[in-house]
Amino acid sequence: MEVNYETEKKVIESLIFSYKKPISIYQINKEYEQHCGRPIPYLQLGFTSIENFILSLDESISSRYS
């Protein structure tokens, strides 16, 4: 399955903004996996960790996780 940075960003953005409080990286990945049926494909997107991938997202997104 091909992954696309912008598509993954939109999915994660919708998950993060559905929470009223900051959300942990663990919880983001758990919610993503429940929604998409697989963990965040950060390696396929060229990142060495989920945290690096989340930090690459724009500031409004990356500032919402704890």
Q: Domain coordinates of the chain in residue numbers?
A: 5-63
Average pLDDT over residues 37-66: 82
- 64: confidence class by pLDDT, cuts 50, 70, 90: low
Alpha carbon distances (Å) from 31 to 12, 21, 39: 9, 15, 9
Quick one: pLDDT at residue 61?
64
